[in-house]
Amino acid sequence: MIRVIGGGLAGSEAAWQAASLGVPVALQEMRPVRPTSVHRTDRLAELVCSNSLRGDKLDNAVGLLKEEMRRLGSLVMRAADRSRVPAGAALAVDREEFAKLVTDALTSHPLITIVRSEAERIPDSSPAEPVIVATGPLTSESLSREIAHLVGDDHLYFYDAISPIVLADSIDRAKVFRASRWGRSLGGVKAARASVCGADDGEGDYLNCPMTDEEYRRFYEALVSAESASVHDFDREKFFEGCLPIEVMASRGPDTLRFGPMKPVGLVDPGTGTPPYAVVQLRQDNLAGDHFSLVGFQTQLKWGEQARVLRMIPGLEQAEFVRFGMVHRNTYINAPRVLRETWQTRVKPDLLFAGQISGVEGYVESAASGLMAGRTAAALVRGEEPPVLPRVTAIGALAYYVSHADPSNYQPTNVTFGIIEPLARAPRSKAEKKLATSERALKQLDDWIATAQVPALGSG
Ligand SMILES: Cc1cc2nc3c(=O)[nH]c(=O)nc-3n(C[C@H](O)[C@H](O)[C@H](O)COP(=O)(O)OP(=O)(O)OC[C@H]3O[C@@H](n4cnc5c(N)ncnc54)[C@H](O)[C@@H]3O)c2cc1C
């Protein structure tokens, strides 16, 4: 038997996959006995916020991920497709119907037992009885303490402070200059890490957006008067001092940012030959080099406001945002330190993590990790090799990234084409490159599926 803790997106999919492979599952969900601060119902796979599962086309990495999941018999994708509401190129769902379809399918499965109670500790596991922890970003306190004990206090985080990310192509290179503070770059002198939240650590090469006194004042005025996103109750807790949103820092005084993430020390603008009055640093954010994050710019501004204010930064006037900044409660492990590519923990291979707590970000990524963790756990019970999908697939690339990314300052990741193995011969057009990447992924996935057992979804 497999024990799955947490009946969210990841736990539901994990239970479904494992049971569909013939292995009995006990799925333990604490709601409604013990609620979380954001879930509103007792349904399994409740969507806590947006009803969108994002893009659904193959020119989009999350669209590819969804198609791979469909081909692997995903319950979450079946429920999403059946509860779909009009949303252009995105897959949005009727959230009530979606969660009902998942709940009904799991409740009526003969091999799945649903237990409604809080797991206060990690149950004992063995290869015959593996455990999957899929308790999400709002993992209950006592279990969080146990997890911290298991993985090490340093490898469990409780907040996510996310800086916005922009597309490299949308940065005006004529206005920015490439340099690292004090001339240090990758392979050069390494400075001590300044904070856990991505403040400039002195390493690597940065794109620097220099500001004059006048530009800084205008930016500052816009920032302190911009509208913040509404704050959930769970976010009212104090932020770590090192992870303050920029608008909170700015509210402490006009020069706070100039002595914080926008400090110009150690940088000389080649255009003027002098240090800029203030600077915003952009750091390469993915291997492909097409995403840059704004260093130390975690923010809770509303997304429209973020775009408006951040486009006042020289060089970012036309910036296209891949991801907006956020600060929210998020329990997750330092996956590259803790996990194998199969979602098994390194220290205890019959203990697995899946979903947001395992270091992925988003509904679909969480469900995808649950899908593979469920299959891995089933393989352990059946005495088989845990499955690993090729890294050219979105699912395989996600598993590889999560277990092999740079562990310093690790943050939960969405799926992007940047983490998928590049094509040997890529078409020149970006659109064609993405489609060719998806085509290759689905072909290799189909080859893999030909030798694997995939849940039959039937018409029920
Ligand atoms: C406020 C907020 C808004 C978000 N908005 C979005 C969004 O719009 N789009 C998006 O893609 N992602 C969003 N996310 C991220 C989102 O949480 C994940 O994408 C997704 O829900 C993660 O799936 P999961 O299965 O890992 O966790 P969940 O779906 O949260 O499931 C975890 C389950 O475990 C249960 N649980 C917790 N502790 C225990 C315990 N000790 N014992 C038993 N059960 C337990 C919980 O009740 C819950 O049902 C948001 C997250 C938060 C916190």
Cβ-contact 377, 2 below 8 angstroms? yes
Q: How confident is the model at residue 453 (pLDDT cuts 50, 70, 90)?
A: confident
pLDDT tens profile 34-44: 998 788 899 99
202 contact partners, CB below 8 Å, separation of at least 6: 180, 181, 182, 184, 189, 190, 191, 194
Average the pLDDT over each of 10-19, 296-305, 448-457 and give the range with the smallest value.
448-457
What pLDDT is stored for residue 236 in this prediction?
44
CA angle 341, 344, 347 (to 5 degrees): 115
Over residues 100-126, mean pLDDT: 97
What pLDDT is stored for residue 111 in this prediction?
98
Over residues 159-172, mean pLDDT: 86
What pLDDT is stored for residue 158 in this prediction?
73
Q: How far does the centroid of ligand 1 lie from the alpha carbon of residue 48, in Å?
A: 7
Nearest to 160 by CA among 227, 240, 236: 240
Q: How far does the centroid of ligand 1 lie from the alpha carbon of residue 51, in Å?
A: 13
Q: Judge whether 2-159+330-449 and 164-324 match in fold.
A: no
Ligand 1 pocket, residues with Cβ under 6 angstroms: 5-11, 28-31, 36, 38-39, 48-50, 118-119, 134-140, 143, 232, 328, 355-357, 362-363, 366
All structural domains of the chain with their residue ranges: 2-159+330-449, 164-324
Q: How confident is the model at residue 185 (pLDDT cuts 50, 70, 90)?
A: low
Over residues 87-116, mean pLDDT: 93
Averaged pLDDT of the chain: 89
Q: How far does the centroid of ligand 1 lie from the alpha carbon of residue 53, in Å?
A: 14
What pLDDT is stored for residue 294 in this prediction?
93
What pLDDT is stored for residue 229 in this prediction?
67
Look at residue 345 and tell me whether its pLDDT is greater than 80: yes
pLDDT tens profile 128-152: 999 999 999 999 999 999 999 988 8
CA angle 213, 218, 223 (to 5 degrees): 120
**What architecture (CATH level 2) is domain 164-324?**
Beta Barrel (2.40)
Residue for token digits 């509208």? Answer: 227
DSSP state of 321: E
What pLDDT is stored for residue 48 in this prediction?
86
Look at residue 153 and tell me whether its pLDDT is greater than 80: no
247 three-state secondary structure: helix
Q: Rounded to the nearest 5°, which phi and psi values hold at 448?
A: -65, -45
Hey, what CATH class is 2-159+330-449 in? alpha beta
Q: How far does the centroid of ligand 1 lie from the alpha carbon of residue 361, in Å?
A: 10
144 three-state secondary structure: helix
Strand stretches in 227-348, DSSP E:
278-284, 291-294, 321-323, 326-333
Q: How many CB atoms lie within 10 A of CB 153?
A: 8
Look at residue 237 and tell me whether its pLDDT is greater than 60: no
147 three-state secondary structure: helix
Cα torsion 317, 323, 327, 332 to 10°: value is -150
Look at residue 227 and tell me whether its pLDDT is greater than 50: yes
Q: Indicate the burial class of 355 (C-beta count within 10 angstroms; 0-12, 13-18, 19 or more).
A: buried
Q: What pTM, to 2 d.p., does this model score?
A: 0.75
- CA-based radius of gyration for the chain: 23
What pLDDT is stored for residue 322 in this prediction?
87
Report how many helices (DSSP H) and strands (DSSP E) the chain contains, helices first: 12, 16
Over residues 214-227, mean pLDDT: 95
Look at residue 75 and tell me whether its pLDDT is greater than 90: yes
Indicate which atom in ligand 1 lies nearest the CA of residue 11: 25
Look at residue 188 and tell me whether its pLDDT is greater than 60: no
Over residues 434-451, mean pLDDT: 96
